[in-house]
Structure 1
Amino acid sequence: MADPEKAAEIEQAVAKAKPSPTQPQARQGQAAQPGAPSPPQVIEDLLRPGGRLIGSEGSSPKIRVIKGGLRDAEKLFAQLSGSGTRVTGTSYPGQLVRLPNGGTVGLRPSSTSGPPTIDVTVQGLGIREIKFLP
Structure 2
Amino acid sequence: CRWLANLGNAVVICPDYRLAPEHKFPAGLEDCAAVLRFMAGNAGDLGIDPARIAVAGDSAGGNLAAVLTLLARDGLAPPLAAQILIYPNTDARQIADSYRRFGDGFGLTAATMAWFRDRYVRTPDDIADWRVSPLLVSSLA
Whether TM-score is above 0.5 comes out as: no
Q: How does the TM-score come out when normalised to structure 1?
A: 0.27
Q: How does the TM-score come out when normalised to structure 2?
A: 0.26
The structure whose residues are more often helix, as a share, is 2
Structure with greater contact order relative to length (CA < 8 Å, sep ≥ 6): 1
Larger radius of gyration: 2
